[in-house]
Amino acid sequence: MEHAVGPYRGTLYRFALAVSAVTAVLAFAILAGGFAATWGAFEDIRRYADRNIANEDSYYAYADGGTESLVGPGFVVFALALVLALLCVSVLHSGYAVGAAHLRRGGDPLSVGELWRRSRARLASSVVTNLLTALVVAAVVFAGLVLFDLAQRERIPGVERTDLHETATPQYAVVGFVVPIVIWCLGPLLWFRLSGATAETVLEGRSPFVAVYRSWVLTRRARARAFGLGLVCCAAAVAVFVAGRWLFQPFNHYAGLGMLWLSGDNVWITGMLMKVLPTVVALLLVPPLVMPLVSGEVARLHGELRAAEETAAGSARSADAAPPSSGP
């Protein structure tokens, strides 16, 4: 990434920090809105649980009543979180693409504000492009999950599920584990092969569908590199996520104490907060710590592949324009 965005590393990272900060504020606003919308439902669950405890019912009966009212708000929060993640990735990819292209043209350093101004001109197309990319990758991951689930439920002819501590049959090992893992490994490859689509729609003004196709065409000569970069970036994101959850655990205790005080000792809403908060915090660490690397490598790969394509096209035009050699 050094020669692609090196001179603008400070500007681009400040841009990434600004986008990450806005993303964090919006994420916590969505989380707070979700808890505010379900506050009454958690109060109903507490009253229902207290009645079951008083009647000496089973533990599993305590929170059964009223949980249906959490499904709707939970779905809204999840959908808003996905939209926010899509916006964050789109803005960062767009900004790094603009910065890298400006550097290749020998332009003066851009400010964070100018980087944002140039990026937002094609932000809608960038969002749609990244949505198409995400849908393609999600379809591959979902196919692996479906195959894994079918094998676990013995819905595939000739494949029987093996219980724990027993020797798995070759059919179950291959169909139930090996093939789904291979399918899931295609996710990083597909994602990085299509990641140049954002630069195509932002820099070249292409429609989202054409941009996705162009990225696929550009990266077909760099499949191994795209797969390697995809694996490294995914591994970095997973490492940051796992480390973030682990590091936040001591603070999660104090967040739970705060919710207990705020809710009047409602253990149900407190338990929910302590379950989701480490995940939210860990995910919010990915944009400032991982996305600069990812977006920089995407910009670098796209720039190099575009330059190679233009060089090949120029050589072909020169060869066509050269006069035929005369005979002796």
Region of 167 please: left (phi>0), alpha (psi -120 to 50) or beta.
beta
| Inter-residue contact 76 to 275 (CB < 8 Å) | no
User: Which residues, 6 or more positions from 199, have their beta carbon under 8 angstroms from its beta carbon?
Assistant: 93, 97, 100, 101, 298, 299, 302, 303
* Predicted model pTM: 0.84
pLDDT at residue 327, rounded to an integer:
46
Which amino acid is located at 128 in the chain? V
Region of 157 please: left (phi>0), alpha (psi -120 to 50) or beta.
beta
Region of 66 please: left (phi>0), alpha (psi -120 to 50) or beta.
left
| Inter-residue contact 222 to 202 (CB < 8 Å) | no
User: Which residues, 6 or more positions from 220, have their beta carbon under 8 angstroms from its beta carbon?
Assistant: 193
Cα–Cα dist 303/219, whole Å: 11
Q: What is the DSSP letter of 88?
A: H
Q: What is the dihedral of CA 74, 78, 83, 87, to 10 degrees?
A: 120
User: Which residues, 6 or more positions from 76, have their beta carbon under 8 angstroms from its beta carbon?
Assistant: 34, 37
| Cα→Cα distances 40→78, 227, 242, 259, 270, Å | 19, 48, 33, 15, 14
**Structural tokens at position 130:** 């990244």
The gap from C-alpha 213 to its chain's centroid, in whole angstroms, comes to: 20
pLDDT at residue 318, rounded to an integer:
65
User: Which residues, 6 or more positions from 102, have their beta carbon under 8 angstroms from its beta carbon?
Assistant: 8, 110
User: Which residues, 6 or more positions from 12, have their beta carbon under 8 angstroms from its beta carbon?
Assistant: 5, 95, 96, 99, 115, 292, 295, 296
**Structural tokens at position 314:** 């120029």
What b/e readout covers 187-222, taking b as 16+ CB neighbours within 10 angstroms? Answer: bbbbbbbbbbbbbbbbbeebebeebbebbeebbeeb
Cα–Cα dist 277/6, whole Å: 35
Which parts of the chain register pLDDT below 70? Answer: 1-9, 56-67, 107, 164-166, 314-328
Which amino acid is located at 268 in the chain? W
pLDDT at residue 2, rounded to an integer:
43
pLDDT at residue 65, rounded to an integer:
53
pLDDT at residue 315, rounded to an integer:
67
**Crossing angle between the packed helical segments 71-104 and 267-289, to the nearest 10 degrees:** 10
Three-state SS at 321 = helix
pLDDT at residue 228, rounded to an integer:
85
Nearest-Å Rg of the Cα atoms of the chain is: 25
Cα–Cα dist 246/192, whole Å: 28
